[in-house]
Structure 1
Amino acid sequence: MSNEKHVLGLSGGKDSAALAIYMRQNHPELDIDYFFTDTGKELPEVYEYLGKLEGFLGKPILRLNPNRDFDYWLKQYNNFLPSAQTRWCTRQMKLKPFEDWVKPMLKEGKIIHSYVAIRSDEPYREGYNATQEKLKIHLPFREDGIDKPAVAEILENSGLGWPTYYEWRSRSGCTFCFYQQKIEWVGLLERHPEAFQEAMSYEKNSLDHGSPFTWTEGEPLTELMKPERIEQIKADHEKRVARIQSRKAINPLRPEKETIDIDDVYGQAKYCVTCHK
């Protein structure tokens, strides 16, 4: 048996999906195991897209599940919500399951090659920092000069296209991810009201226990969901989109209006590489 193993983590997002397609098409000699770390709080569109991706890849995507759920870890962290300052959700529900999965293989002496979808146009992003000598991190997109437009081309040419949640959200991850813009919270409320209600109950419980954090900075969801506030958020978003559209040069090869995603509108926001790639 080979002493090397190749793995590629999928988040349900466009970049990791494009990398899986890219590796299958350009490196068919590699027997890659694809995995998805499932927190149980993902968007339903994520699961739908993973199913389509499995069909394209011709092999199952392994689901890695945390030993403990979100409710357990919330209690361990004194009922304080995860935040950009304390990303315990990523650490306990994304990174730890991966580490637990590869640990026995590393102990056996295997060399693990992990492929991460950091693009060439985002040099400031860092992938998973491996502490094990035999866990090798590879960044094929950065090495091969694959940027955001190239990722879009890979997805379109494959026939899979983009995950449908990109119509209203900028990236994958948990339904209540704190990196969302306010317009994305509005999108969650309108498309998945039950998930929004769950996020609101977590927020109320956290605030009742003295947490200084709300899901969206400076505004609890009880205020954000008010009709007049939703109208204000949507109006601000439309103005931002109009400004971006007015500045975009028309591509003669693609004269139809190109999709403007959340990052185009609000700038390249911070996000978690592990969850959102």
Structure 2
Amino acid sequence: MPHHEKHVLGLSGGKDSAALAIYMRQNYPELDIDYFFTDTGKELPEVYEFLGKLEGFLGKPILRLNPNRDFDYWLKQYNNFLPSAQTRWCTRQLKLKPFEEWIKPFLEEGMTVHSYVAIRADEPYREGYNAKQDSLKIHLPFKDDGIDKPGVAEILESSGLGWPKYYEWRSRSGCTFCFYQQKIEWVRLKERHPEAFDEAKAYEKDALEHGSPFTWSQGESLDELTEPARIRQIKEDYEKRLLKIKARKKQNPLRPDSELIDIDDVYGQPKFCVACHK
């Protein structure tokens, strides 16, 4: 029976999940989908702005799921060790746990929860949310319907929503100090949001003093990364790589590909957290 089913779609503030929300609204209007966003409290201001515009398009509020313990609480629990690709406690505690706690009562009532995840047709389904319960069903509509990165761009543009503003300087949503950022993104964070950069630097300094082996960016502290000579080097390296990619790409006059080149393309696709960056 329909009332024993619930449909949910998690938004990260990223372009893929936003495009999926638009796609589902346009192609499956009969589904009553609950859209949700897990707010770590450390998101970029551009993310909140984008979610506001998306709410306008969807015509319904996006639920805000807040972790009951914030980043600072978990940082202490993990002995001041910064989250890293090896120990991604931030995704676990600040994104997945609130989702699990939110759907738990529905599952306990015997409902089937359908969760829609924005994995595109042109990417492998790596570290998505793996359902532990049979009554939580994960669906990948983009993968099923063959929608790739250009397809996502088309959905965003034709809806009038366009791209998130952070796209001008960064490839994905997520926390201001996400360790998956490239060096160029740290440099731009310092230029665009100096207060968020300073906060990240303070966390790093504190963590290093407590013996954490990790800096936010691999192999150097944020202090070292933002020495004037180092900034110049990072920017030059980025420009060189960008030119190489542009030279390799065939120009399609109907689709200027420059808008589809993002920082991940320039440096090669890194691993990332589906919960935070889609």
**TM bin (shorter chain):** over 0.9
Q: 1:275/1:244 Cα in 2 relative to 1: closer, same or farther (>3 Å)?
A: same
Instruction: Indicate the residue corresponding to 1:80 in structure 2.
Output: 81
Q: Does 1:174 align with 2:175?
A: yes
Q: Distance in 1 between matches of 2:183 and 2:20?
A: 29
Instruction: Indicate the residue corresponding to 1:228 in structure 2.
Output: 229
Q: 1:219/1:58 Cα in 2 relative to 1: closer, same or farther (>3 Å)?
A: same
Q: Which amino acid aligns with 2:60?
A: K
The aligned runs of 1:6-21 (5 Å cut-off) are 6-21=7-22
Partners of 1:21 and 1:158 within 8 A in 2: yes
Instruction: Indicate the residue corresponding to 1:48 in structure 2.
Output: 49
Compute the displacement of 1:263 (Å). Answer: 1.6
What secondary structure sits across from 2:195 in the alignment? helix
The count of aligned residue pairs is 277
Q: Please say which of residues 253-262 and 45-54 is displaced more in the overlay.
A: 253-262
1:127-151: CA deviation from partner (whole Å, max 9, x where unpaired): 2101011111100001110111100
Structure 1 vs Structure 2: percent identity of aligned residues?
81
TM-score normalised to structure 1 length: 0.98
Instruction: Indicate the residue corresponding to 1:60 in structure 2.
Output: 61
Q: Distance in 2 between matches of 1:65 and 1:124?
A: 26
Q: Which runs of 4+ in 1 moved over 6 A?
A: none
Q: Which amino acid aligns with 2:219?
A: G
Q: Distance in 1 between matches of 2:126 and 2:9?
A: 17
What secondary structure sits across from 2:24 in the alignment? helix
1:29-83: CA deviation from partner (whole Å, max 9, x where unpaired): 0000000000000000000000000000000000000000110000000000000
Superposed CA RMSD = 1.1
Instruction: Indicate the residue corresponding to 2:119 in structure 1.
Output: 118
Q: Which amino acid aligns with 1:43?
A: L
Compute the displacement of 1:124 (Å). Answer: 4.2
Partners of 1:118 and 1:125 within 8 A in 2: no
Instruction: Indicate the residue corresponding to 1:216 in structure 2.
Output: 217
What secondary structure sits across from 1:113 in the alignment? strand
1:3-36: CA deviation from partner (whole Å, max 9, x where unpaired): 1100000000000000000000000000000000
Gapped runs of 5+ residues in structure 1? none
Q: 1:47/1:27 Cα in 2 relative to 1: closer, same or farther (>3 Å)?
A: same
1:214-247: CA deviation from partner (whole Å, max 9, x where unpaired): 0000000011111111111001111111111111
Q: Which amino acid aligns with 1:123?
A: P
Q: Distance in 2 between matches of 1:135 and 1:128?
A: 10
TM-score normalised to structure 2 length: 0.97
Partners of 1:113 and 1:135 within 8 A in 2: yes
The aligned runs of 1:1-277 (5 Å cut-off) are 2-254=3-255, 257-277=258-278
Partners of 2:6 and 2:114 within 8 A in 1: yes
Gapped runs of 5+ residues in structure 2? none
